[in-house]
């Protein structure tokens, strides 16, 4: 790699890590696994950076595709099915955690964990990242109708997961409420 390519990749990686981490964390629900997914994504991109820069596609779109495929591949590993790690929540404010997103909350990730892996990816890419159906279909290697179906099923399941017992229409967390209500409008 040339020095200019190294600098360009470092600049891209620095800007992309928060967004990639948010996608990875929403997809897998575990900070450590999300860190691993982001690292795997950046490792794969670093080796191919000169080709990525020459593509018509923006590097972030390529990064999302690599991350999603790495997530799918990680679910196929035998050790992944036999072990599940649980994280102890830190006693710091959300803004002090480094990512500082409103959506970076345990309640939302707990609700997302009730979805299948495919539904979770579709909901995150469509309704958290705001990607169009065609782009989500391209990233997942699926048809647009499958993306729409998974989105509808995932949102319905998410609504049930975050509904409070007192009122089945009221989500328990504002960030989850935003995802569910905006998802219904799309």
78, 93, 119: which is the final residue of a domain?
78
Give the domain extent around 56.
1-78
Q: Are 57 and 105 part of one and the same domain?
A: no
pLDDT at position 152, please? 92
How many Cα atoms are found within 13 Å in the side-chain-facing hemisphere of 43?
Answer: 7
Q: What is the CATH number of the domain that holds 131?
A: 1.10.10.10
125-141: buried (b, 16+ CB within 10 Å) or exposed (e) per residue? bbbbbebebebbbbbbe
Q: Are 62 and 106 part of one and the same domain?
A: no
Does residue 167 lie within any of the structural domains? yes
Does residue 86 lie within any of the structural domains? no
- Closest by CA position to 59, among listed 71, 73, 45: 45
Max CA pair span of the chain: 61
CB 154 within 8 A of CB 122: yes
Does residue 143 lie within any of the structural domains? yes
Does residue 95 lie within any of the structural domains? no
Non-local CB neighbours of 81 within 8 Å, separated by 6+ positions? none
78, 110, 126: which is the final residue of a domain?
78
Non-local CB neighbours of 127 within 8 Å, separated by 6+ positions? 151, 155, 179, 182, 183, 186
CA distance 148 to 154: 10
pLDDT at position 2, please? 80
Q: Are 19 and 72 part of one and the same domain?
A: yes
Does residue 128 lie within any of the structural domains? yes
Q: What is the CATH number of the domain that holds 18?
A: 1.10.1740.10
Tally of domains within the chain: 2
Q: Are 184 and 129 part of one and the same domain?
A: yes
Does residue 16 lie within any of the structural domains? yes
pLDDT at position 147, please? 92
State the 10-residue block means of pLDDT for the chain, 186 residues long.
85 94 88 92 91 88 92 69 50 42 60 86 87 90 92 88 52 50 52
pTM of the model: 0.61
Q: Are 40 and 106 part of one and the same domain?
A: no
pLDDT at position 182, please? 53
The tokens for 49 are 């950076």
Q: Are 178 and 107 part of one and the same domain?
A: yes
Query: Can you say whether the dihedral through the CA atoms of 159, 164, 169, 174 is positive or negative?
Result: negative
Q: Are 107 and 60 part of one and the same domain?
A: no
pLDDT at position 185, please? 52
pLDDT at position 105, please? 59
pLDDT at position 76, please? 67
Does residue 147 lie within any of the structural domains? yes
């Amino acid at each position: 790699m040339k020095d200019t390519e190294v600098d360009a990749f470092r600049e891209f990686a620095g800007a992309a890590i928060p967004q990639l981490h948010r996608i990875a964390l929403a997809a897998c629900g575990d900070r450590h696994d999300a860190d691993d997914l982001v690292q795997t994504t950046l490792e794969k991109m670093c080796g191919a950076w000169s080709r990525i820069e020459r593509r018509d596609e923006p590097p972030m779109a390529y990064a999302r595709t690599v991350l999603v495929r790495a997530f799918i591949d990680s679910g196929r590993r035998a050790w992944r099915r036999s072990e599940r790690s649980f994280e102890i929540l830190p006693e710091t404010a959300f803004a002090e955690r480094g990512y500082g997103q409103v959506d970076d909350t345990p309640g939302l990730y707990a609700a997302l964990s009730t979805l299948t892996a495919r539904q979770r990816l579709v909901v995150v890419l469509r309704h958290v990242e705001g990607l169009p159906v065609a782009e989500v279909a391209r990233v997942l290697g699926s048809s647009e109708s499958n993306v729409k179906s998974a989105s509808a099923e995932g949102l319905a399941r998410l609504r049930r997961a975050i509904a409070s017992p007192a009122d089945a229409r009221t989500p328990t967390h504002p960030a989850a409420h935003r995802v569910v209500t905006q998802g219904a409008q799309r």
